[in-house]
Amino acid sequence: MGGELPLTGRTVAVPEARQLDVLASLLEKRGATVLRCPLVSIVDAADERPVVDWIRRLIEAPPDLLILYTGEGVRRLAAFAGRAGLERQFTDALSRSRKLTRGPKPRQALRGLGLAPDIEAPAPTTDGIIAALSELALEGARVGVQLYGTEPNEQLLDYLADRRATVDCVAPYEYASAADDEQVVDLISRMSRGDVDAIAFTSKSQLDRLRKLASRRGLGTALAEGLRRTRVAAVGPVVADELEGAGIRVDAMPAESFHMKPLADSLVRLFGGDG
C-alpha cells in the first residue's frame, strides 16, 4: 500500500467550469475519482462590438488606472484583441496603464501577457479594491474597469463617482447557467446518499446554482443532508466566507496561494496525505 496515491478510493465532485479540467486532472493524478459537474458556464459577451470599442479606446488613450477584477476578464479581453488584430497594441496599452488587480487570478493572467499589476488589493473583494483606491488621487483621473460578469458593480462605481473619476467599463464575458439540470440533480442525490467524499467550490456562483436548482426541484433537504455528509473544500477565504454564511461547514482550504493546485493539495491533507 506504500505506493498508493493519496486520494485513491476517494470521490471528489468538481463543480467548476473555467478550470474544471485543470482541477480534475490534479485530483485524478492524486488517485481520486472525479465527478465533473460544471455548474456555471462562462461565455464571451454576446455583442463583441462594445468590447472591441473599449479595447480601441484603451489603445488610443491608456487610462490613468485600470481595475482588473478577474483573470477570466483579462484573458478574454486579450482574445477579443487578438481576433480584432490588436493583440500587440492591446498589450502595449496595458503596459502603459497603472493596473490594480483584485486577487491572484488577474495577476496570473497578466503574467501570461508578460505584465504585472502595479497595485494589488489587500483583499480579493470590492472592499479590498476600494481600500487600495483610498490611497490614490482620483479626481479627474480616467479609470477603466473590467467588470465581473455583466452586472455593474454599483458599490465601486458609486465610490469612483464620489471621488470624481471618469469611468469606462467593459464586460468581456457573461455567465450562463447552461449545465444540464439532471447532472446537478444526480450530484445532489449522490451526496445525500454519502457516495461523494468531498466537493470543491471555487466560486459563490456554484453554490448559488446548487441551491436554486435544489429549491426548484424540491431537493433542499437532500442538498442540506448531502453537504452535511460530504467534506467541503473552498479555494480561498472569499468562497469559504460565502459557504459558512450559508451555514455550510468548510473542511479544507489552502493556507495561501488560492488557486487549483493548492486546493487539490488541501484535499490531500484533509484525507490524511502530505499534500
What radius of gyration, in Å, describes the C-alpha atoms of the chain? 20
Share of the chain above pLDDT 70, in %: 95
CATH architecture of structural domain 43-175: 3-Layer(aba) Sandwich (3.40)
Residue 247: Cβ-neighbour burial (10 angstroms; 0-12, 13-18, 19+): exposed
pLDDT, position 46: 87
Residues paired with residue 12 on neighbouring β-strands, in sequence order:
34, 198
pLDDT tens-digit profile of 201-246? 988 888 988 998 999 999 999 999 999 999 999 999 989 999 999 9
pLDDT surpassing 70 at residue 178: no
DSSP bridge partners of 173? 44
Residues 64-84 have a mean pLDDT of: 96
Residues of the chain with CATH 3.40.50.10090: 11-40+177-270, 43-175
271 and 36 Cβ atoms separated by less than 8 Å = no
Cα–Cα distance for residue pair 157/121, rounded to 1 Å? 16
Query: In this prediction, what percent of the chain has a pLDDT beyond 90?
Result: 76
Q: Mean pLDDT in the chain? A: 92
Predicted TM-score of the model (pTM): 0.65
Indicate if the pLDDT at residue 149 is higher than 90: no
pLDDT at 99 (0 to 100): 98
Mean pLDDT value across residues 160-186: 88
The CA-to-CA distance between both ends of the chain, in Å, stands at: 17
The CATH class for the domain spanning 11-40+177-270 reads: alpha beta
pLDDT at 1: 43
How many CA atoms within 13 Å lie on the side-chain side of 105?
Answer: 21
The DSSP code for 252 is B
Tens digit of each residue's pLDDT (9 = 90 or more) over 87-127:
999 999 999 999 999 989 899 999 999 999 999 999 988 99
What confidence tier does 19 reach under pLDDT thresholds 50, 70, 90? low
Q: Is the pLDDT of residue 17 over 70?
A: no
Give the C-alpha distances (Å, rounded to integers) separating 26 from 33, 38, 106, 232.
11, 16, 21, 17
